[in-house]
């Protein structure tokens, strides 16, 4: 993960899952505001487990990159079978991916064994909370730099991960809370965006802060600064970036909510109006049928009377 690609690709995955959840939660709440109940994951139209398959494939690729493809020897262990210090971060990152793989795999299993039950929903969110909790713990206790520019990016990332962790746990006792589901989706999407920002800003030489440079250490590149003033300036710029993205993503998600609510409710009203007119037309047709039947019976009665008189 300690590279541009290693941050951008997982970040894009988080972004996709977050925006997918956001759109579906807004749609579900707009169509059924009074009976809204959150879902831990959303079935895709043609492939039910598409979301979970994406997570499983993505995490397996991530684990393979960290432990087998990325290392120069294509395996992360030393000659004596121990883990060298410069590969500790590879194991940390792969453990995060492993926890999300377990979440996705058991979500599919739960859907087969205990479908559409409160237990399924609760256990699925529990595994999601475990995955986010593990991610938070490993980034907090990360074996790489905690004090440099990279450490500042990851410290801010921990705030977003904690939000995902907390809202996932709160989803278990509050399945009908749309606001909790909205914030959880928002945090997952923001997590993805911030991952991509980290990858681009830390490993693109043109974006390195003034007075800082890329230095190759322990198997990967790290941003270092010439002096304390340059380091503090770089950290302050990271904070400013985070604030900009926070405001931008918040404005985007709230605006998206307003637009989609209006869109879905107008469609519901339109469909309800069509159904109303169809019902009225059906009533008119039935009334006409009754009148025709009555008229026919009356006509037959008169004809029978004439025959009897004759």
Residues 223-278 have pLDDT tens digits of 999 999 999 999 999 999 999 999 999 999 999 999 999 888 766 654 444 445 44
Is pLDDT of 207 > 70? yes
pTM value is 0.84
C-alpha closest to that of 232 among 114, 126, 152 = 152
Q: How far is CA 140 from CA 39, 194, 226, in A?
A: 29, 16, 26
pLDDT tens for each residue of 62-114: 999 888 887 777 777 887 888 888 788 888 899 999 999 999 999 999 999 99
Token pair for residue 78? 């030393």
Return the minimum-mean-pLDDT range out of 24-28, 169-173, 268-272, 278-282.
278-282
Burial 96-105 (b: 16+ CB within 10 A, else e): bbbbbbbbbe
What is the 3-class SS of 160-192, one letter each residue? Answer: HHHHHHHHHHHCCCCCCCHHHHHHHHHHHHHHH
197 contacts 245 by C-beta, under 8 angstroms: yes
Residue-averaged pLDDT of the chain: 86
Token pair for residue 249? 């993503």
- What pLDDT is recorded for position 71? 75
Q: Which residues contact 241 (CB under 8 A, 6 or more apart)?
A: 197, 201
Residue with tokens 């970040």: 11
- Can you spell out the DSSP letters for 48-82? TTHHHHHHHHHHHHHHHIIIIISSTTSS---TTSP
Is pLDDT of 189 > 80? yes
Residue with tokens 């039950």: 117
3-state helix, strand, coil in the chain (%, to 5): 75, 5, 20
Q: Which residues contact 73 (CB under 8 A, 6 or more apart)?
A: none
Which has more confidence, 46 or 143?
A: 46
C-alpha closest to that of 90 among 73, 109, 102, 114 = 73
Task: Please tell me the distance from the alpha carbon of residue 43 to that of residue 260, in angstroms, as a whole number.
Answer: 20
Number of H helices, E strands in the chain: 7, 2
H or E, element range at 223: strand 220-225
Question: Where do the domains of the chain lie?
Answer: 4-249
167 contacts 152 by C-beta, under 8 angstroms: no
Is pLDDT of 309 > 60? no
- What pLDDT is recorded for position 264? 82
C-alpha closest to that of 184 among 20, 305, 64, 6 = 20
Task: Please tell me the distance from the alpha carbon of residue 81 to that of residue 87, in angstroms, as a whole number.
Answer: 13
């Amino acid at each position: 993960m300690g590279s541009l690609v290693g941050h951008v690709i997982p970040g894009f995955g988080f972004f996709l899952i977050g925006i997918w959840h956001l759109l579906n939660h807004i749609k579900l709440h707009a169509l059924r505001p009074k009976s809204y109940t959150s879902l831990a994951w959303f079935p895709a139209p043609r492939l039910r487990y598409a979301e979970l398959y994406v997570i499983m494939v993505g995490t397996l690729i991530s684990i393979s990159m960290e432990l087998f493809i990325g290392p120069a020897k294509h395996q992360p262990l030393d000659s004596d079978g121990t883990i060298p210090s410069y590969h500790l971060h590879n194991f940390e990152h792969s453990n995060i991916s492993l926890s999300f793989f377990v979440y996705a795999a058991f979500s599919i299993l739960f859907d087969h064994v205990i479908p559409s039950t409160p237990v399924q929903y609760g256990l699925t969110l529990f595994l999601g909370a475990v995955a986010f909790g593990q991610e938070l713990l490993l980034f907090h206790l990360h074996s790489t730099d905690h004090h440099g520019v990279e450490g500042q990016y990851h410290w801010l990332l921990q705030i977003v991960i904690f939000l995902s962790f907390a809202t996932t746990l709160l989803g278990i006792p509050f399945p009908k809370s749309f606001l909790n589901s909205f914030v959880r989706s928002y945090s997952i999407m923001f997590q993805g965006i911030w991952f991509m920002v980290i990858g681009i800003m830390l490993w693109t030489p043109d974006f390195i802060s003034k007075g800082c440079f890329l230095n190759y250490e322990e198997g990967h590149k790290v941003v270092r600064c010439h002096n304390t003033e340059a380091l503090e300036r770089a950290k302050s710029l990271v904070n400013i970036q985070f604030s900009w993205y926070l405001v931008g993503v918040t404005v985007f998600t709230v605006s998206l909510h307003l637009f989609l609510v209006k869109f879905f409710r107008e469609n519901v009203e339109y469909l309800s109006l069509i159904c109303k007119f169809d019902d009225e037309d059906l009533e008119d047709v039935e009334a006409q049928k009754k009148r025709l039947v009555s008229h026919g019976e009356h006509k037959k009665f008169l004809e029978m009377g004439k025959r009897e008189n004759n």
